[in-house]
Structure 1
């Protein structure tokens, strides 16, 4: 993503990275649906069970729940990609949740690449302009997570049980 920003600029790099991230995650979803169900369930039974319960609790607002998981990553993206077909998440909802949910991350990486490509000397790294741009991106990175966290408290069933992260006495997700 950083390389795309350096080579193609912010907006072209963002479109390219967002599209490729979504397509790649969807291919992972399709491969998992075709070949990986037994593997995922065998090696991650507790995590799949917990995520299945949360998906079912939030089935009425599944798309927003998936966005929450992407924007506020409590669960690793690779695990979501592998487990989504097992959890009966429709491929279209999966694709668009990746496309929208990973856009802030992609933007930050692409913008960083675009900024770094303009640096011509070591002194330019520490210029006020560069530092302010990087600081603005760091602050902007906090906004989606904050908004999703605020929305999720009102609309998603995430903290129903104090011990939601404990399953069969083991720490998971």
Structure 2
């Protein structure tokens, strides 16, 4: 009971901090209505009133362009605050195993660019996952084992079977997840996975996923028309991104065929264990 109270206290303190930080969100630029944009394009004068732009996920090309403009505004005018708020929100999500990292990674690419965005996404993913590991180790071991007994037992067994090449086994789980990443973060201390191996596996293993999301955000911030979205240059860029993201997974899969002990489906549909010497 004491561990549950401690966890709730940590969640409450982090929630209050994040909420307090969000209260100081700088005002967004005012977006002119459609009629005003039409007058601007035709050179006619129009009323300068409009509604404030809002940060939301786009549902069409027009909203896509508006989001790109809004992100560029925040990047230029409020870089420090946006960086603090982004890092705080990312760590909050990762620490408490809240889904939604893909959207935050896309925002990282759109706001901070391909290189800074990727570095930021990888570092925050690693730090947040490590915080989740530590919270589970301090407060949640008993509860997680009671909530997911079968999954925890399977992970413990696989960790023990692959202890001679544990880092590569963890990388395999990140590239080809047998369980969701949030569950692996919480259950890793229960399975006695050393924190150093855990940190390395998160940073390296989630690099392709973070790379794809960040590059998507970069393209989101650069798109200006439908032609830009489906140009040959953009398609070649997407192909290069896919190849770079698939290469590490292919290398890990090749290694796993020779070294790792994994459950593979047999021809009759039953699960059997196989180790290739």
With the length of structure 1 as denominator, give the TM-score of the two structures. 0.89
Higher relative contact order, structure no. (Cα contacts within 8 Å, ≥ 6 residues apart)? 1
1:34-49 to 2 correspondence within 5 Å? 34-49=138-153
The equivalent of 1:91 in structure 2 is 195
1:140 aligns with 2:233: no
Quote the Cα distance in structure 2 between the aligned partners of 1:39 and 1:66.
Answer: 23
Decide whether aligned partners of structure 1 residues 113 and 84 sit closer, same or farther in structure 2, where only a CA change above 3 A counts. same
CA distance in 1, matches of 2:245, 2:272: 27
CA shift for structure 1 position 161: 8.3
Are 2:152 and 1:65 equivalent residues in the alignment?
Answer: no
Unaligned 5+ runs, structure 1: 166-173
Q: Please show how residues 90-169 of structure 1 align to structure 2 within 5 Å.
A: 90-159=194-263, 163-164=271-272
Count of aligned pairs:
165
Which secondary structure state, in structure 1, belongs to the residue aligned with residue 262 of structure 2? coil
CA offset digits 1:33-64 (Å, max 9, x no partner):
11111111111101111111100001111111
For 1:4 and 1:60, locate their aligned partners in 2 and report how far apart those are by CA, in whole Å.
37
User: Which stretch has the larger CA shift, 14-23 or 110-119?
Assistant: 110-119
| 3-state SS of paired residue (1:159) | strand
Which residues in structure 2 correspond to 1:11-30 (within 5 Å)? 11-30=115-134
- Higher-Rg structure is 2
- Give, in angstroms, the shift of residue 78 of structure 1: 0.6
Displacement after TM superposition at 1:109 (Å): 0.9
- Which ranges of structure 2 fall in alignment gaps of 5 or more residues? 1-104
| Deviation by residue 1:69-120 (Cα, 9 ceiling, x = unmatched) | 1112222101110100001111111111101111111111111111221111
The TM-score normalised by the length of structure 2 is: 0.57
C-alpha distance in 2 between matches for 1:114 and 1:42: 42
Aligned counterpart for 1:81 among listed residues 185, 204, 225: 185
Offset at 1:153?
0.9
Say whether the 8 Å CA contact 1:17–1:106 is kept in structure 2.
yes
Cα distance in 2 for residues equivalent to 1:164 and 1:55? 17
Match of 1:8 in 2: 112
1:6 Cα deviation (Å)?
1.1
